[in-house]
Every structure is written in structure tokens, then in C-alpha cells.
A = this chain, B = another copy of it.
Amino acid sequence: MGADPGSEAWSAMRDLMMAQRGTMLAAASELDLSPPQLLALRALHPGEPAPMSALAQVLRCDASNVTGIVDRLEDRGLVQRRPAPHDRRVKHLVLTERGEELRRRAAAWLDAPPPGFEALSADEQRELRDLLRKVAGAAPRPA
């Protein structure tokens, strides 16, 4: 019955991913954001203007979609489009004060480890961290 340890580990991790999907959807609903809007808000960092194209990369969607997603975030006063200094084709996105505030509320939902992590001792949490870093570091996301 037992598959190899790697597959079993991956299976457990996918369970956690499905649970996290629920948390993310709940957070989006609570913050009155669509899932892509929530992802976009998190991809933007305070004080770090980013081109529209960066959002397309994170969202893994076509650039044409970013236009509409940013339109709605901008309509709500959460982000602003600004001309990029070095290339007049590029538009930079910056978080507004309200955008930063909403982003902080999103972080409170999503950055905290799920309650299941409390089942591990401090030593076990360190072990888990090191193992996960090894896995994540070994597989740099393909562009």
C-alpha cells in the first residue's frame, strides 16, 4: 500500500495545499477581493514600484488580463499607475495607503502558519523548515 516516501510526503503536502486554497478563498471573500486581486495585492510591495508585466508573471496570466485586474484595484483606490522613468511604454504600479492597509490585513490571514504547525515541537519546525528549503531551493521555478 505504501508508495515511496517522496510520493507520500508530496501527498501530505497536497492536502495542506488544498486546505490553504480554502483559507485563501475565505480571505479574499472577507477582504472583498477576487482571488487574482488578492494575489496581485500581495505581489506588490510597499515602496517598490513594479511594472504591469511583473504582475502578469506572478499571476501567470496574459498581460491583457492585468489591465482589467489593475483597473478594478485602481478604481477602489488600492493601487496607482505611474509612468516609468526609463521607458515610456512601461507603467509602474504602486500601492496606495489604503492598498498597503488592505495588504497588511491579507498578510494577517495568509502569512501566519496554519494551526497544524503547532503540532510540531520547535526542533521539528526547524527540521521541517530545513527540509522544505532544500526542496524549494533545489527546484527554482521555471520561467
- Chain A contact residues, CB within 8 Å of chain B: 4-22, 25, 60, 111-120, 122, 124-129, 131-139, 141-142
Contact = CB atoms under 8 A, between A and B. Distances in A.
A137 B127 CA distance: 18
B135 A6 contact: no
Given A12-B135, A25-B60, A119-B139, 5 more contacts: A10-B112, A15-B136, A17-B20, A18-B141, A128-B132
A19 B125 contact: no
Q: How many copies does the complex hold?
A: 2
Contact of A5 (B4, B22, B111, B126): B126
B138 A134 contact: no
A5 B132 contact: no
A131 B135 CA distance: 14
B9 A125 contact: yes
Given A13-B13, A21-B60, A129-B5, A135 B120 contact: yes
B113 A6 contact: yes
Contact of A134 (B113, B120, B135): B120
